[in-house]
Amino acid sequence: MELHCRINRKIRQIMSKNQITSDLVENMMKARGYGEEVCNNEEKIMKAVLDHHDIELTETWEDGLDYYIYTESTQDGYEVFIATHNPNKISINEDVYYYDSDLSDALCEGIRYSNSYSKIYIGDMEDNFVMEAMQTLYQYIYDITEEEVIEELINEGYEE
């Protein structure tokens, strides 16, 4: 009976080594810099997103940056939000936002479609839309990386 139990235990160990488990995936995600400790830390989320896209955010205005997000006042004193690639040629239909809640999507697009080594101007880094965009982009990167990890494990002979 004892020999039978040892054989069954050994079979389970061998079989479990070829199974994709959440712990195995999580360990591989951690090795790539996308573990749970990142998900709960805004600074680490921002760093992971910016490193992944090779982007720098700045609050210092410079000519020739890749993207700009800032506020302007209208003639009659209303505040509007600008998100543009060219602050010298603003398109009212495409670059001007009435609500800052739409800026998260604008920043996500600015980052996703930027070239490597891009620099993006943000008028106020403390605005909520910045972290909202970082969390959205991080989740996207996390999901893609998790799919890649699972695909690699399958290619190595692991089963789901």
CA atoms within 13 A on the CB side of 126: 0
User: Can you read off the two tokens belonging to residue 44?
Assistant: 């680490």
Average pLDDT rounded to a whole number, residues 64-71:
94
Q: If pLDDT is split at 50, 70 and 90, which confidence band does 43 have?
A: very high
Evaluate if residue 136 carries a pLDDT over 80: yes
Asked which of 19-33, 40-54, 91-105, 139-153 is least confident by mean pLDDT, the reply is 19-33
Evaluate if residue 16 carries a pLDDT over 60: no
Taking Cα atoms as reference points, which of 108, 114, 102, 100 lies closest to residue 138?
108
Q: If pLDDT is split at 50, 70 and 90, which confidence band does 6 have?
A: low
